[in-house]
Amino acid sequence: MPETFDLRVELPAALAGPAAAWWFIERFAARLGAPVGPDDGYPESGLAAAEQRLGLRLPQAMRELYGRFGRRHDLLHGARSLVPPEDWETEDSALIWQVENFWQYRIAVPLDRVAETDPPVLIDGSSQAYDDWEPFSDSFSAACVETVMSQTSLCGDWGGWHREALPTDAARLERSLTLIPPLISPGGRENTDRWYAGADVLVHEDRSDEQAEWGWLYVRALTREALDDVRKALPGPWTETVGS
């Protein structure tokens, strides 16, 4: 276990690029008692076979993610899942690498950016027509950090909770937690997403839902104590996030 692990410090540092993101994921897994092992990724032969089948070369960051952590379902699979290399597909000028479990949306790398080391990532939010890609993250590695924080099951029953935001939440968040740089900055949503961290907790304030006047709060706690502290500081009807 790392001697110190504080999300207020670790998460901003993880956004510096692929090497920083992989270092964060390794430390995060170790912090939760499930360190990364040598067999947690897909073998090079499987990645190369998928590249040959698709007729393209993977972005370096994508190759590194799958090669180091791709088989870690407890880290990277929750309400959405990584697509295994043998099932990778290109569609609508995008290479799809994550899917929501009920196919409500998919996450992909634009094909015209696959030559980049750490390309941007797109999301398709339409279950009716899978050709409406929108920006999801400025970089693949940042999307991986967000995936770990939002999808991991290592946190147990206290890991993922959410509720509709209240008008008093903004001031309480600023008093009890630290505002950190956004893990992802979808195009046109720079002013709708805010991220707050404590040593063992992350709160995502999402104001993109026009049906919710004050948006939604999503909590990822690393310990039961951290969750209890957030729920005490931000009282309300919290619900466990299904698939987290």
At the topology level of CATH, where does 155-240 sit? TATA-Binding Protein (3.30.310)
Distance CA 232, CA 105 (A): 33
CATH of 7-149, picked from 3.40.1580.10, 1.10.3720.10, 3.90.550.10, 3.40.30.10, is 3.40.1580.10
Q: What are phi and psi of 217, to 5 degrees?
A: -115, 130
pLDDT tens digits along 207-221: 878 888 999 999 999
**Does the structure show a pLDDT above 50 at 50?**
yes
SS (H, E, C) the chain: CCCCCCHHHHHHHHCCCHHHHHHHHHHHHHHCCCCCCCCCCCCHHHHHHHHHHHCCCCCHHHHHHHHHHCCCHHHHCCCEEECCHHHCEEECCEEEEEEECCCCCEEEEEHHHCCCCCCCEEEECCCCCCCCEEEEECCHHHHHHHHHHHHCCCCHHHCEEEEECCCCHHHHHHHHCEEECCCCCCCCCCCCEEEEEECCEEEEEECCCCCCCCCEEEEEECCHHHHHHHHHHCCCCCEECCCC
The Cα–Cα gap between 166 and 213 comes to 9
**CA-based radius of gyration for the chain:** 18
* Cβ–Cβ under 8 Å, residues 137 and 143: yes
Q: Is the distance from CB of 72 to CB of 28 less than 8 angstroms? A: no
pLDDT of residue 209: 81
Q: Order of strands, edge to edge, in the sheet holding 178-180?
A: 178-180, 193-198, 201-206, 216-221, 160-164, 239-240
pLDDT in tens, 130-158: 458 889 999 999 999 999 998 887 776 66
Question: How large is the angle between the packed helices 140-151 and 18-31, nearest 10 degrees?
Answer: 20
Residue linked to tokens 């939760």: 32
Is the pLDDT assigned to residue 193 strictly greater than 80?
yes
Task: Give me 103's structure tokens.
Answer: 């196919």
Is residue 85 within 8 Å of residue 46, measured between CB atoms? yes
Who wins on pLDDT, 209 or 90?
A: 90
Domain spans of the chain, in order of start: 7-149, 155-240
Q: Is the pLDDT of residue 187 over 70?
A: no
Measured CA to CA in angstroms, residue 179 lies from 11, 136, 196, 220 at distances of 11, 20, 4, 15
Is this structure's pTM higher than 0.85? yes
What pLDDT sits at residue 172?
96
